[in-house]
């Protein structure tokens, strides 16, 4: 397996994609990695990421961009782009990444693999350069749902998945929140998936989660920004590394990430009251909205396109074209994955084929908190139905392996 380079592996450098950690080689593995190693996993190496995890393109100014194996002039997604690209290119069957607002599922969708975000707190989080203690989690990627379920079972010591029948399975379709303003080919592929699932016996339930997407995204960003410097300081102190926020900011090479850190050192940084409201009021409201939706509609999970658009060309870090409009790149790609992440719920992305240009697209499922193994079992059943109807996911072109 491969490991995202913000996660400690004993004897291997942890750079978090930044010159801040030049020559930093931890002597202990993160607990999640240690459990996998003890079970027999072979760590092939560390993989690239968006610098310090603060982005979704993995266009890294220190080590270079992560390239999408299906189209090397396009992004792999982020921030766990290297993990997804390595699996898609056939370098490793599985890998570990981390997810704050979509960083496991976005690159999985754009690279045609499976990415699973566990319920926040399910996986141990020590030995990781984090953005947020409240929001971050480690998680697996693989070629199939079974790959991800295996790694989750080892780390969390859980039993094998149950077999799930799609006949009569109730799945929510929150159109108002996740199905608007999609790339036309993503829209067509997603509609085709609904037809396939309905034919397989799935009961598709139109539902409204009832949250304000923009307010939810803003609150989530407040939490991440407020906690990020403290997380960096905590990690560095645990490794006896000196911490000076201003000096470290000067070492950040990626312009978008350096701009974020500069804002954290200014009066624009979130204050304690705003943070407190985001964590204890707004996050609780989002969690309750999800819980109410699952309970009232008696649904296993909600499903939607993982990202509203496929992989953009490398270099479009600020804006992209989506459905004929120029929109911010970060918010475009995180739009559908951010709310469930903020609530801390499990989510998974599985492939749903490629567009006319050969770029992969992903289908996401978000489940109730702590329904991880059930969500994986449901995703495995849906994956089988899609493969039966659509055929196996095309391999990345051989010349890029």
Give domain status of residue 348, yes or no.
yes
4, 58, 254, 349: the catalytic one is: 4
pLDDT of residue 395: 86
Number of domains in the chain: 1
Is 238 noted as a catalytic residue in this protein?
Answer: no
pLDDT of residue 398: 58
Give domain status of residue 304, yes or no.
no
- Which stretches in the chain have pLDDT values below 50? 401
Domain that holds residue 238: 2-164+209-287+311-400
Give domain status of residue 113, yes or no.
yes
pLDDT of residue 217: 92
Give domain status of residue 265, yes or no.
yes
16, 58, 79, 349: the catalytic one is: 79
Give domain status of residue 192, yes or no.
no
Return the CATH number at 282: 3.90.1300.10
Contacts of 85 by beta carbon, 8 Å cutoff, 6+ apart: 47, 66, 67, 68, 69, 76, 107, 111
Bridge partners for 117 per DSSP: 347
103, 125, 132, 190: the catalytic one is: 103
Is 79 noted as a catalytic residue in this protein?
Answer: yes
Give domain status of residue 156, yes or no.
yes
């Amino acid at each position: 397996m491969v490991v995202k380079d913000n996660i400690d592996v004993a004897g291997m450098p942890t750079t978090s994609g930044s010159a801040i950690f030049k020559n930093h080689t931890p002597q202990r593995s993160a607990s999640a990695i240690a459990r996998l190693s003890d079970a027999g996993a072979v760590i092939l190496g560390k993989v690239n990421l968006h610098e310090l995890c603060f982005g979704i393109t993995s266009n890294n100014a220190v080590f270079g961009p992560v390239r999408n194996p299906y189209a090397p002039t396009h992004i792999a997604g982020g921030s766990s782009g290297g993990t997804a690209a390595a699996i898609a290119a056939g370098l490793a069957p599985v890998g570990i990444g981390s997810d704050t607002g979509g960083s496991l599922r976005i690159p999985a969708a754009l690279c045609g693999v499976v990415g699973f975000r566990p319920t926040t707190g399910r996986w141990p989080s020590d030995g990781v350069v984090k953005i947020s203690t409240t929001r971050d989690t480690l998680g697996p990627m693989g070629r199939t749902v079974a790959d991800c379920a295996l790694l989750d079972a080892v780390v969390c010591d859980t039993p094998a998945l149950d077999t799930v029948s799609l006949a009569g399975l109730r799945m929510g379709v929150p159109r108002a929140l996740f199905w608007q303003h999609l790339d036309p080919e993503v829209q067509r592929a997603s509609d085709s998936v609904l037809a396939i699932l309905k034919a397989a016996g799935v009961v598709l339930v139109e539902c409204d989660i009832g949250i304000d997407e923009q307010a939810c995204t803003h609150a989530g960003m407040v939490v991440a920004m407020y906690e990020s410097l403290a997380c960096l300081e905590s990690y560095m102190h645990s490794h006896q590394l000196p911490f000076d926020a201003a000096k470290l900011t000067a070492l950040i090479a990626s312009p978008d990430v350096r701009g974020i850190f500069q804002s954290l050192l200014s009066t624009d940084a979130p204050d304690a009251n705003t943070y407190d409201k985001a964590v204890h009021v707004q996050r609780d409201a989002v969690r309750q909205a999800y819980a109410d939706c699952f309970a009232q509609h008696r649904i296993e999970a909600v499903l939607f396109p993982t990202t509203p658009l496929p992989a953009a060309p490398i270099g479009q870090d600020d804006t992209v074209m989506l459905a004929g409009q120029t929109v911010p790149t970060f918010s475009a790609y995180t739009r559908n994955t951010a709310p469930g992440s903020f609530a801390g719920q499990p989510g998974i992305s599985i492939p749903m084929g490629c567009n006319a240009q050969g770029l992969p697209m992903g289908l996401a499922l978000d489940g109730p908190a702590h329904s991880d193994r059930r969500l994986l079992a449901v995703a495995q059943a849906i994956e089988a139905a899609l493969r039966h109807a659509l055929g196996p996911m095309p391999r990345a072109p051989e010349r890029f392996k």
